[in-house]
Structure 1
Amino acid sequence: MPSTFTRRHALKTLTAGATLMATGGVPAFAEDQTKPTPLAAPTESSWASFRHGPAQQGVAKTTLSKQPELKWELKSRDGWVATCAIVGDHVYAPALQGYLYCLHKATGKEIWKYRSIDDPDEKKFAPGFKAAPLVTASAVYVGDEDGILHAVDRKTGKRLWKFVSDAEIAGGVAKYGNELLLASHDSKLYGISEAGKETWSFQTDDMINCSPAVAENFTFLSGCDTQLRVIDLKTHEEVRNVPLESQLIASPAIMGDLLYVGSHAGELVAVNWKTGEIDWRYVGDRELPYHSSAAVTKDLVLVGNHDKLMHAVDRKTGKARWTFATKARIESSPAIVDDRVFFGSGDGNIYGLSLADGAEVWKFNAGKAVNAGIAIGEGCMVVGEDDHNGRLRCFA
């Protein structure tokens, strides 16, 4: 269960002089792209939300080099825990220091930065961004640790509006029609208009950490009240409630009639969301928490655990296909591209494994814990370190 102790307390005695900076000496992309092309709407090859699409399956629809090389890196005082978004020529990177950055994908050059507060004084605490952004054709939506959802103009980096909930926002925003779906630690799911006005809300019994998944006209919530909830987005009423007997930190993934989510108690479950029945339950050798959100293919469910293992589970049977051991717990949500899965570990490494057998096919030593989720879009992979002066890195 994440602590409610915020960075505001931890940073009271710190000097805020450090700034985010580009690190020199790292080669840029082979092509010389000094000027990004005009803004484009997200496509399938983008990574425009936390798990790449409303079903939150974590599967990229782009290509990535067989041996991705580091192209650039960026340092931030408080590190990076949020999954980035990649759309067109730009990377949208939320930092714990309280900035949302729009970066040139090829070079890491800053296009604009947006601060969570209006005060430009670096010594004044700014609520950080732990949630992944949602990028649309015109805007970037991202929640902060003080419970404010920010709508930012993609072109200018200026605020369009803000919506205030009553507690931290840890999950990304989903979109259904002309509405945004926002879950908050205040235990509510909000429907918000594109103008930033609340249109409806649904009350749960405890904090919600997840990014809401969407399938058909339903959304799905996994939260600290131990319930998996299915909510009809036409009536705004709960149509199903599945008790899972554990707090839920991870976000759900949907494929067909089945929903996949790991619990804080150490159980990965497949739930038929249309009937409320449990299709299968998977438990590793040690029942430790799943905070990583699962990636799902037609054959596999892949998810990291505090037992230091990446687990690949047969999607139909719920039986283990393979596991891969790291040296620290895994909270990073994995991303799949072609026949590989990529994820970070608390041991300071970023791994690439073969989906077929879990064999290591690539590794990069970051040096600090990598708990942020992986983003793979537009031919590159972006992920940040979760530590003081942590680096955001782009590989291609």
Structure 2
Amino acid sequence: MQLRARTFLFAIIGSVCLFSFSACKKDFSQDKPFAPVYTPTIYIGSQNQFLYAFDPANGQKKWEYFAGSNIHSSPLVMGDYVYVTSENGFIHKLDAKTGTLVKRIAVGGTLQSTPYGEMKGKDGNDYIYIGTGSSNSLIAYDVTADSVEWTFTTGDNVFSSPTIYDTLVVVGSNDGKVYGINKFTGVKGWEFQTGGPVISSPTVNAAGYVYVGSNDYNLYCLHVVDGTQKWQFATNGLVQSSPISYGGNAIFGSNDGNIYCVDTATAIARWKVKTSDRVNSSPTFWTKQDESSSVQVVLVGSYDYKMYAINILDGSIRWSFPTKAIITSSPLVFNDKVYFGSFDKYLYCARPDNGDLIWKQNINGLIECSPAVDNLNKKSIYTSSISGNSIY
């Protein structure tokens, strides 16, 4: 009788518990979790074999990627991916937001040339054009099809970074030549012989003129259609800085320590600014205009450890920012801030109007290359000013 009573009691308790759990069961939302929020990113490589991603507003590190070899060239942001080359002959394709490796592309040779990207090129595919050392070639790589489209061989290393104008890829070589190559076929359209290796990266303006420096101490202006010379401008040192074309001026540095501004119509110097050492950094420009004032400055680094801001109109120095080592990195301007690296292992962010420091980050490695930015516009391509433009 007692056993039967206990069984009956347990049955009642069990029913109550089941009823309680059923009554108290929550109906949870089937909504998906919030998607991650992504913000713009600054990328910089180093000779410590790492690529870093930083928040451009405050310098906070987002992620880092170990490439396994020194990084001499600037990153390329194209669509959802960032591409960086390493000295041992690989292009590393990474997820731009997370730094996750998508693919390592074996190109071969020594890679010091900054790649040039083209979205929706031939057949609607995305392409990378890159020069190689030791294998002495320019390569067109179809990143959509994951295959080499063509290879063009020069007579020496290609450390110059290519640029594109219409159907031509324009690039320099250590064989002393500047080449115009059909971007679809890899067939040479023209070549121009200088008197020394061409490490400077060419820029082409909207009027169809190529500006490029040579180790023969000259800056050249060429017709992009056929490679014929319009003029040359002599300096007193190697011209390895890559020029920019801005407002009818070609602006560039020389190993004679000067930053030059040359009238593109007459080949006459408008002004030059003397620094204390060679200038291999490539310039970029920043402008700001409001109701009360207008500022136009060119920004460029020097081996004298300083970043300079020079008034474009008259060549006067607006400010200079001292670091603790040489600057070969070309500055990047984004959202009214200027970013640049130094051999003192710091990435700097400063105000372009007065040079005041906003933040700096020690990445524990020499910074030879220039920063690139991802502003989350996936229809655009971003790289540094290495080939004469800050944004393509």
- TM (norm. structure 1) is 0.76
Residue 143, structure 1, aligned to residue 138, structure 2:
no
CA distance in 2, matches of 1:383, 1:363: 20
Counterpart selection for 1:310 from 304, 307, 311? 307
Which residue identity does 1:202 align to in structure 2? F
Question: In the alignment, which residue of structure 2 is the partner of 1:214?
Answer: 204
Q: Is the Cα–Cα contact under 8 Å of residues 93 and 102 in structure 1 kept in the other structure? A: yes
> Could you say which structure has the greater relative contact order, defined with CA pairs below 8 angstroms and 6 or more residues apart?
1
1:235 and 1:171, CA in 2 relative to 1: closer, same or farther beyond 3 A?
A: closer
1:284-327 C-alpha deviation (Å, 9 max, x unpaired) = 3x2x0111111112411111111111111111111111111111
Q: Residue 112 of structure 2 aligns with which residue?
A: 130
Q: 1:76–1:97: 8 Å Cα contact kept in structure 2?
A: no
Aligned amino acid, residue 142 of structure 2: D
| Aligned with 2:147 (options 143, 155, 158) | 158
- Cα distance in 1 for residues equivalent to 2:278 and 2:56: 32
Distance (whole Å) between structure 2 residues aligned to residue 85 and residue 79 of structure 1: 16
Contact 2:235–2:256 under 8 Å retained in 1? no
Structure-2 residue corresponding to 1:261: 252
- Retained in 2: the 8 A contact 1:46–1:87? no
Instruction: Determine helix, strand or coil for the equivalent of 1:192.
Output: strand
User: Which whole-Å CA distance do the structure 2 matches of 1:210 and 1:142 have between them?
Assistant: 14
* Offset, 1:210: 1.3
Is the partner of 1:231 in helix, strand or coil?
A: strand
Which residue in the other structure is 2:18 paired with? none
In 1: Cα distance, 2:144 partner to 2:56 partner:
29
Alpha-carbon RMSD across the aligned residues, in angstroms, is: 2.4
* Alignment map for 1:1-396 (pairs within 5 Å): 32=36, 65-117=56-108, 127-137=109-119, 138-146=126-134, 147-193=136-182, 194-215=184-205, 216-284=207-275, 286=276, 288-298=277-287, 299-379=296-376
Distance 1:185 1:133 in 2: 17
Q: Is the 8 A contact 2:241 2:253 kept in 1?
A: yes
Q: Offset at 1:32?
A: 4.1
Distance, in Å, in 2 between the alignment partners of 1:102 and 1:65 is 21
Tell me the secondary structure at the aligned position of residue 73 of structure 1.
strand
1:379 Cα offset (Å): 4.4
Structure 1: state its 5+ residue gaps: 1-29, 35-44, 48-63, 118-126, 385-396
CA-CA distance at 1:261 after TM superposition: 0.4
Q: Post-superposition shift, 1:69?
A: 2.4
Q: CA separation in 2, counterparts of 1:180 and 1:232?
A: 13
Deviation (angstroms), 1:280: 0.2
* Deviation for aligned residue 1:77: 3.1
Q: Distance in 1 between matches of 2:178 and 2:324?
A: 36
Distance apart, 1:33 and its partner CA: 9.2
Identity of aligned residues (%): 24
Q: Is the helix fraction higher in 1 or 2?
A: 2
Q: How far apart in 2 are the matches of 1:115 and 1:201?
A: 28
Any conservation in 1 of the 2:157–2:175 contact (CA below 8 Å)? yes
Task: Tell me: CA distance 1:309–1:46, structure 2 relative to 1, closer, same or farther (3 Å).
Answer: closer
Unaligned 5+ runs, structure 2: 1-33, 43-54, 120-125, 288-295, 385-392
> In 1, Cα distance between the equivalents of 2:176 and 2:158?
10
Larger-gyration structure (1/2): 2
* Matched letter for residue 145 of structure 1: G
* Structure-2 separation of matches of 1:83 and 1:305: 18
Change (3 A) 1:325 1:31: farther
Give the length in aligned residue pairs.
318
- Contact map agreement 2:110 2:133 (CA 8 A) in 1: yes
The residue identity in structure 2 corresponding to 1:364 is Q
Q: Secondary structure at the match of 1:297?
A: strand
TM-superposition CA deviations, 1:12-69 (whole Å, max 9, x none): xxxxxxxxxxxxxxxxxx95499xxxxxxxxxx999xxxxxxxxxxxxxxxx742142
Q: Contact conserved, 2:213 with 2:243, CA < 8 A, in 1?
A: yes
Contact 1:342 1:350 in 2 (8 A): yes
Q: Is the 8 A contact 2:131 2:137 kept in 1?
A: yes
Name the CA shift for 1:317/1:232 in 2 (closer, same or farther; >3 Å): same
Code of the residue aligned with 1:87 in structure 2: it is M
Contact kept in structure 2, 1:328 and 1:345, CA below 8 Å: yes
Instruction: Provide the TM-score with structure 2 as the length reference.
Output: 0.77
Quick one: which amino acid aligns to residue 328 of structure 1?
Answer: A
